[in-house]
Amino acid sequence: MNIGIVGIGGYVPEKRMTNHDFETFLDTSDEWITKMTGIKERRFAAEDQETSDLAYEAAERAIKDAGIRKDKIDMILVATSTGDHRFPSVACQLQERLGLRNIPAMDQLAACTGFIYSMVTAQQFIQTGACKYVLVIGAEKLSKIADMTDRNTAILFGDGAAAVVLGEVSPGHGIINYQLGSDGTGGQYLYDRKDDHLLAMNGREVFKFAVRIMGDMAAKTVEEAGLKPEEIDMLIPHQANIRIMESSRQRLGVDKDKMSVTVDRYGNTSAASIPLSLLHELDKGRVKAGSKIVLVGFGGGLTYGAITLVYGK
């Protein structure tokens, strides 16, 4: 069975938070932020918007794009680190809002690698015949856990959501190979603080880890998919930092114009960053039916993963 993306949709809040906005309350500058991260702006959700609201908008659009009735969805998986509550899960909240009943729904916490983990999980359920269609969503409201007094981390993160519907696709399309992993010894470098639950990060250590693992995972999934780097049409890395992204591109050995870059407009949206970038490239016509693409990411945990797939139904 060939399993791939049959529908996709995304949503970002209206409010733009530019680098110049941060200059008004942090000791930073547009020039420094752009040079160090590649970020120019990011979206912030309104106070009355929660992660589930962002996820709902993306989900509705993905289901519509798939061209199926909502009641055809057999499972909901939401990748997020910023759920509205500790419980119920965002996935269960979505099940109610979408009007679905008696299907499994759960959140997966693998931080910025969450979307890749959820894609692979969905693939397994479809492969066994337990599900026909699985709704997979990456959604984050990181603005609510960002420490706005920390100039090293506050400027990195944004809010948004993107969703895909996974199902059986025609021969020659779908997921070819995946790689998943974690290194719990690095959990101390990226975590939420116990006292205020705001995000804390050892940027130097995370950078060192990401530079190595993103390139390694991208190269490994392409090799095990039986492809050569020059056959890849688009590399879609987690949009964390342009320097990390460039390192993974160089390690894989693909041309610069074959790497998706949306970090400049959305910042780091964690679990939402990869599907938002995929949607961006589809809208631009740089990914289309038959395109060979690589998704690769890393995140708190520390987690990491990559997928090679051929896009199309």
- To the query of whether residue 2 is one of the catalytic residues in this protein, the response is no
- To the query of whether residue 112 is one of the catalytic residues in this protein, the response is yes
Selecting among 2, 19, 131, 238, the annotated active-site residue is 238
Say which residues have a Cβ less than 8 Å from residue 150's Cβ, sequence separation at least 6.
none
- To the query of whether residue 92 is one of the catalytic residues in this protein, the response is no
Q: Hey, what are 78's tokens? A: 């939401």
Selecting among 2, 19, 92, 112, the annotated active-site residue is 112
CA dist 121 and 77 (Å) reads 9
Catalytic residues: 112, 238, 268
